[in-house]
Amino acid sequence: MATEKSEKQQPKASKPKAEPKGSERRVGPVIGIDLGGTNMQVGIVGPDDKLLARAKRKTKAEEGLNAILDRIVQAIEECRRESKVRLTDLAGLGIGAPGAVDPHEGVVLEAVNLRWNDVPLAELLSDRLGIPCFVDNDVNAAIYGENQLGAGQQSDNVLGVWVGTGIGGGLILNRKLFYGHYLTAGEIGHMILFPNNPPGSRSLEHNCSRTAVVERVQKLMRANRKSSILEMVGGDWDKVRSKTLAKAYQEGDELAIEVVDDAADMLGVAIGSIVTLLSLERVVLGGGLTEAMGQPFVDRVQKQTRRFAFPDRCKRVQVVASELEDDAGLMGAAMIARDRISG
């Protein structure tokens, strides 16, 4: 596969690469990290793709960069103790960060949740750990993980859509993560769904994220729409969470079904357009809202996606739920590190 990657495409490690050990083509254990605005998930992944250990920490972005790096190193130590993997046995580290990332230079260009701009994360981690470190966008890492080990089934052309607080996306085209000219490809949450809506209500994220769905339910309850949700939250609509909504949805609550199904339909329209544009064979849905709503939600998105996909042959596209769920990000980050090390 090495011949397929151009100089520009092939992201580089911030430190000298680990040499392959003689005829042994497999790479040693790698660290995978999913760095979120609220929590970080850290794991050590063995050469057989098994998660040997995992640790979780609060991100606490408000404490600043060094405090975050300290907590990453602590979480790695915890994983090393649990798995008995020595630091010298670790082949490298991959980390997915929320926001725009330069994977070639290992720099987080802009991460609003973390209040970061132009942070050379790969270099900083490599200085602390002495192993090659690689950075990518968090949803890129998740879809890479799914495509290697989960619902992506090693498809050539696959879109990942993570529906949570916002909506993130990642693209694998011709079997590789696609970054685009400005390295920001996959930002599907900011695609325009309703051009004629007022500002703040035009994009996919504005209409179909967990945030948007919960707000719509609250708004309709305030306008006196009846729903079992109101009872579940003891009359306090500010307490509506996606779990409440999921329970109501599964129990047949009319309002929950109307709002969630509408979001699924709108998601399907947007995904259908992307399938038309890119002739994709597979779409993987992940994120908090997808996990809470489950298979009926995914099925509905697939139905609508196929309705709008063009031409007919694209209607064979599969829309499936994430299989790795919470582990997608860290497993994918680990796979990215491993694949970059083994070139």
Q: Can you give the binding site for a copy of itself, defined by CB under 8 A? A: 3-6, 8-9, 100, 110, 155-157, 169, 171, 173-175, 178-188, 190-196, 266, 269-270, 272-274, 276-281, 308, 310-311, 313-314, 316
DSSP 105: T
Closest distance of CB 318 from a copy of itself, Å: 11
Cβ proximity to a copy of itself: between 4 and 82 the closer is 4
Nearest to 237 by CA among 224, 252, 221: 221
Nearer to a copy of itself, 209 or 244 (CB): 209
Least gap, CB of 31 to a copy of itself (angstroms) = 28
Considering the complex, state which of residue 13 and residue 193 has its C-beta at the smaller distance from a copy of itself.
193
The one-letter amino acid at 300: R
Pick from 74, 128, 70, 125: which is nearest to 96 by CA?
125
Distance of alpha carbon 264 from alpha carbon 294, whole angstroms: 11
**Closer of 75 and 171 to a copy of itself (Cβ):** 171
Structure tokens at 76: 């790695």
- Residue number with CB closer to a copy of itself (103 or 132): 103
- Cβ atoms of 96 and 66 closer than 8 Å: no
Which residue's CB is nearer to a copy of itself, number 22 or number 200?
Answer: 200
Q: Render 182-237 in DSSP notation, one character per residue.
A: TS-TT-GGGSBS-TTSPTTSSBHHHHHSHHHHHHHHHHHHHTT---HHHHHTTT-G
Whose Cβ is closer to a copy of itself: residue 100's or residue 233's? 100
Closest CB 276 distance from a copy of itself, rounded Å: 5
Distance CA 148, CA 145 (A): 5
Smallest separation (angstroms) from a copy of itself to the CB of 252:
26
Tell me the backbone φ, ψ of residue 246, rounded to 5 degrees: -65, -40
Q: Is 243 left (phi over 0), alpha (psi -120 to 50) or beta?
A: alpha
Asked if 92 contacts 30 with a C-beta cutoff of 8 angstroms, the reply is yes
Cβ proximity to a copy of itself: between 281 and 326 the closer is 281
Q: Pairing relation of β-strands 116-119 and 92-97?
A: unpaired
**Spatial separation of the C-alpha atoms in residues 296 and 256, rounded to whole Å:** 13
Q: How far is the CB of 82 from a copy of itself (least distance, A)?
A: 38
Nearest to 332 by CA among 18, 131, 12, 97: 97
CB of 338 to a copy of itself, least distance (A): 21
